[in-house]
Amino acid sequence: MSLQPEQKRKNNKTLLQACLILVLSLSACLPDTPGRGSSPVPIAQATAASTSIPIPERPVYAPGELVEYTVQSGDTLPNLANRFNTSIEEILNENPVIPEDATTLPPGLPMQIPIYYEALWGSQFQIIPNCAFVNGPAQIDFDINGFIQSQSGWFKYFEQFAAEEQRSGAEIISYVSTSFSISPKLLLAILEYQLNALSDPTTPDNLLDGYPLGYRSSGYHGLYIQLVWAANVLNQGYYGWQGNHLDTLEFMDRTIEHPDPWQNSATVALQYYFSHLEPKAVYNRTINADGFLKTYQDLFGDPWICEPHIPGSLRQPQMTLPFESGKTWAFTGGPHTGWGQGDPWAALDFAPPSATSGCEITSEWAAAVAPGIIARSDPGLVELDLDGDGDHRTGWVILYLHLGTQHKIPTGALVETGDHLGHPSCEGGESTGSHIHIARKYNGEWIPAADVIPFNLGGWIAHSGAREYQGTLTLYSETVIASTDAEEKSLISSPRPSP
């Protein structure tokens, strides 16, 4: 006897709930085979002989039709609701085991999501996983210089003045990768795909014309600055997809498409990057199995072997305000870019009130928000590693930018909450006044300052404004409003320790 549709749905829901419970406890409950509307199996895992397998088009779904989805690293309820054109409430109704206050969802979790169809969805093909995008745990054992020197291409001999000093190609990759927290393997694969940098000993003509990656704009002359642009665009694609700031790709012929709702952030980042550079026909080849992915695989093997780097139910450890107790500073910048321009909005700014109008030397101190070890101390910045292993690619890491050279804490120093790290300054990038810029990373991924895991600094919770640098910090009924002019509404005090 065949079951009625409603009974089938109830049975499926019962099975799904059982599977949800398993995943939440074991983090493993993957479907055996993908069905209609299911998450795409990353075709990157197939062998080279199978790369010509056609990918079926998505059907036109009925409004609110349930589709299968398997959680990917970094997924959140707000992001899934936006991608599937539905609501958090509808998702929770179909997946009752997920709590309403969920932060990140556990990778591998099978879900059913009500979908509302939108035309012009793009490719379902997934190029690389998110763990291969960030400069996180998967990159720890990678020797950038050794790998480049083992190749026969012209990049092994490349040098350029970059970030205030003459640097080799390997040093440039390391600097850009570290600054933007993007995988060095990904940057090298882009250089190989576009410029044959690792395989061809002959210097390409487009390296000499000043715009080797193809972005022609004033101020972006030279390979180093082109790589900075590339890293920034990649991050805008990755975090724009996660943060619901990006939902449309526009191509050189003015046509558009929307990323497939099942897509992962790393693939959307590459789609966004190449959509800036290639005609649609070329782009379509680039984002499929025989395009960029093949170059990456030829260099580094299968990217899909790395473990998901963002766990379910991620929470920020306890932190205090980033200046000395008993002091009053100004909250001068609400959520804005962690590094570069645009997404991710991972940073907040604070300044001693007397220093907000210029770059004078200040005796005030930036302080450690939590105990840890200084994993990195470079001109203008330090990175405080909270897990104690001394590696800025693992665990929770706090970036402090615009610290002056004098009295700045060195790499390797152990610190306790409230210890001095350095003086606010204008060093380390563009700045109109002495201040500090702080941002969080977890396993190499920038964590937005005001999303499902907002900055919590001694109970002060960050909220975004309508634009970058706007926003508030709230503590129960108190609110301070970001102001670059250090207005009274922006002043915030760090409490003195209890006697």
Q: What is the pLDDT of residues 360-418, one digit of tens each?
A: 878 999 999 999 999 999 999 999 999 999 999 999 999 999 999 999 999 999 999 99
CA-closest candidate to residue 86, choices 52, 113, 59:
113
User: Tell me, what's the pLDDT at 66?
Assistant: 97
| Residues 290, 398 within the same domain | no
Q: Which amino acid is at 326?
A: G
| Residues 208, 238 within the same domain | yes
H or E element in which residue 329 lies = strand 328-337
Our separate counts of H helices and E strands in the chain read 11, 21
35 belongs to a structural domain: no
User: Tell me, what's the pLDDT at 421?
Assistant: 98
| Residues 109, 202 within the same domain | no
Strands (DSSP E) contained in 48-156 are 65-70, 110-115
- Place 117 in a pLDDT band, splitting at 50, 70 and 90: confident
| Residues 253, 193 within the same domain | yes
User: Tell me, what's the pLDDT at 267?
Assistant: 98
Average pLDDT, the chain: 89
CATH number reported for the structural domain that contains residue 89 in this entry: 3.10.350.10
Give the Cα-Cα-Cα angle 139, 141, 146 (nearest 5 degrees): 105
For residues 17-38, average pLDDT: 37
123 belongs to a structural domain: no
Strands (DSSP E) contained in 151-297 are 159-162, 165-168, 249-250, 256-257
| Residues 204, 169 within the same domain | yes
| Residues 174, 269 within the same domain | yes
Give the Cα-Cα-Cα angle 129, 131, 132 (nearest 5 degrees): 70
**Does the pLDDT at position 15 exceed 90?**
no
Q: Which residue has the higher pLDDT, 203 or 14?
A: 203
The residue among 239, 271, 305 that closes a domain is: 305
- Place 14 in a pLDDT band, splitting at 50, 70 and 90: very low
349 belongs to a structural domain: yes
Kindly state the DSSP code that residue 97 receives in the 8-state scheme.
T
User: Tell me, what's the pLDDT at 1?
Assistant: 42
462 neighbors 455 (Cβ within 8 angstroms): yes
Give the Cα-Cα-Cα angle 35, 39, 42 (nearest 5 degrees): 110
Q: How many domains does the chain have?
A: 3
Q: Note the helical H segments in 27-157.
A: 77-83, 88-94, 144-150
| Residues 92, 225 within the same domain | no
Peptide bond into 99 cis (omega under 30): no
For residues 159-188, average pLDDT: 96
| Residues 269, 346 within the same domain | no
Q: Which domain holds residue 248?
A: 130-305
Looking only at the bridges linking them, the beta strands covering 256-257 and 110-115 are unpaired
**Does the pLDDT at position 13 exceed 60?**
no
Cα separation, 260 vs 478, in Å, equals 41
| Residues 283, 344 within the same domain | no
- Place 56 in a pLDDT band, splitting at 50, 70 and 90: confident
Summarised one tens digit per residue, pLDDT across range 250-287 is 998 899 999 999 999 999 999 999 999 999 999 999 99
| Residues 334, 289 within the same domain | no
- Place 358 in a pLDDT band, splitting at 50, 70 and 90: confident
316 belongs to a structural domain: no
Output the six-digit token pair for 374.
Answer: 């200084």
| Residues 258, 185 within the same domain | yes
pTM summary value: 0.89
Cα separation, 125 vs 41, in Å, equals 9
**Does the pLDDT at position 201 exceed 70?**
yes
Total length of the chain: 499
| Residues 287, 219 within the same domain | yes
CA atoms within 13 A on the CB side of 200: 12
How many Å is the Cα radius of gyration of the chain?
Answer: 24
DSSP string for residues in 235-269:
HHHHHHHHTTS---EE-TTS-EEB--TT--HHHHH
